[in-house]
Chain A
Amino acid sequence: MEGLERIIREHRFFKDLDPKFVALVVGCAKNVRFEAGEYLFREGGPADQFYLLRHGRVALEMAAPSGGTVTFQTLGEGELVGLSWVVPPYRWAYDARAIELVRAISLDAVCLRRKLDQDHDLGYEVMQRFVPVLIERLQGTRLQMLDVYGAPATEKAAKR
């Protein structure tokens, strides 16, 4: 348990978290590993856990309209995988697949949600860390939607 506590304390997501909160979080955490190609979760499944990556990379994927899957983001060491555990209906909206061997901390979302409900100070601490991740990914998605590297479709460009 001491090892898990240290890992959580040192992970970027929980860095500088008050030790009393770390103890509460540790109660919902366990070490996990995924081989390359294994799925951390699949679209439509219950979002009853999320992951803090310690090693390896994970691809977030969705089915493409033309068939096959499209990777829209990859995440690596120090990052968090899984956002849907925070809001009902707690269901994954995409697949998360290990690109290589992944070691992570798995957090039991049902357990953590209960603790956040019971202790709003802990809830506020976790949300303060969680919301910037959410915003960063939203901003990233906006830039991806802009297709900034696509051919400029202006009249000016047409002359060039």
Chain B
Amino acid sequence: MTPQLHMMPAVARVAGVRRETADTWTLELDPPSKQGEWAYRAGQFNMLYAFGVGEVPISISGSAPRQGTLLHTVRAVGAVSRALAQLKRGDSVGVRGPYGSAWPVEEAAGSDVVVVAGGLGFAPVRPVLRALLARRERYGKVVFLYGARRPEEILYRREIEGWRGRLDVEVEVTVDRAISAWRGHVGVVTTLVRRAGFDPQNAVAMLCGPEVMMRFTVAALRDAGVADERLYLSMERNMKCALGHCGHCQFGADFVCKDGPVFRYDRIRERLAVREV
């Protein structure tokens, strides 16, 4: 496909909207008719276009295979994301994508897998967790550590409860602060790393969340003994064209939209330490 066609959004219909938290919604999108079905790899993103307002990159947070729909979780923080969050069933939205690199779901086979997410960073790792659990026998221990700001801001609660009911996955959720009625963990997500049951020598870790949270989580995982080349991070920069042309999301020698958003840690280690990059 030519770059021009890549720049052209397809029109998708909103099949459903689900409110996740006070400021976060999940949009369920029917595939554009000419395409027939959605194809993507866990970790990729689409550019969603709120007509007349603008376009933003939104991670693919899963699919509903039976309905054939694709899920995007949007936090209403600015003009475009607010417009997306206000869409109703039957409305139209422009979609370009999917773009970017994916989580190493296949490469992690045979290893323990530790997935660490913070805040809205749960959305891009949810497809990984679904993929791991769909073919559970291929992996060693599967651990999911999730940090949120407050209990009310925990995403996908029903899915978390479902995973907690399984004996073959360790799920730990922590919040930064809570009222005393909350019976779960309170504290930063990095504190969960030490308590988690996995073999650091044979673990692959996938991280997604605010960069500062990922830096400290990387430190905790490295301290535990996970090798740099087995750590993967999903980076976020100001992605505009999603094709590596405009340069807005340049991250050193890479473009996050094209070479990322998922990077192996040892390839970005030095850049991650530089605040201005």
Contacts and interface: CB of A to CB of B under 8 A. Distances in A.
A152 interface: yes
A160 B80 contact: yes
B185 interface: yes
Interface in A136-155: 136, 139-140, 143-144, 146-152
Interface in A41-61: 59-61
B176 A157 contact: no
Interface in B173-189: 174, 176-180, 182-188
Contacts of B210: 148-149
A70 B177 contact: yes
A149 B149 contact: yes
Contacts of A151: 23, 75, 77
A136 B220 CA distance: 11
B213 A148 contact: yes
Contacts of A71: 177-180, 182, 186
B149 A150 contact: yes
B56 interface: yes
B80 A140 contact: no
Contacts of A31: none
Contacts of A156: 238
A157 B191 CA distance: 29
A147 B77 contact: no
A160 B240 CA distance: 10
Interface string B191-217: 100010000000000000110110010
B256 interface: no
A144 B176 contact: yes
Contacts of A103: none
A11 to B, nearest CB: 15
A73 B149 contact: no
A70 B77 contact: no
Contacts of B78: 157-160
Contacts of B176: 143-144, 147, 149
Contacts of B186: 59-60, 71-74
Nearest to A150: B149
Contacts of B212: 143, 146, 148
B197 to A, nearest CB: 12
B54 interface: yes
A71 B176 CA distance: 9
Interface of B: 23, 54, 56, 75, 77-81, 118-120, 147-149, 153, 174, 176-180, 182-188, 190-191, 195, 209-210, 212-213, 216, 238
Given A147-B176, A158-B79, A159-B54, 10 more contacts: A59-B180, A60-B186, A68-B180, A74-B184, A99-B183, A147-B149, A148-B119, A151-B23, A152-B77, A157-B78
Interface of A: 59-61, 64, 68-74, 76, 97, 99, 136, 139-140, 143-144, 146-152, 156-160
7 nearest CB pairs, A to B: A149-B119, A160-B78, A149-B149, A148-B210, A140-B188, A74-B186, A143-B188
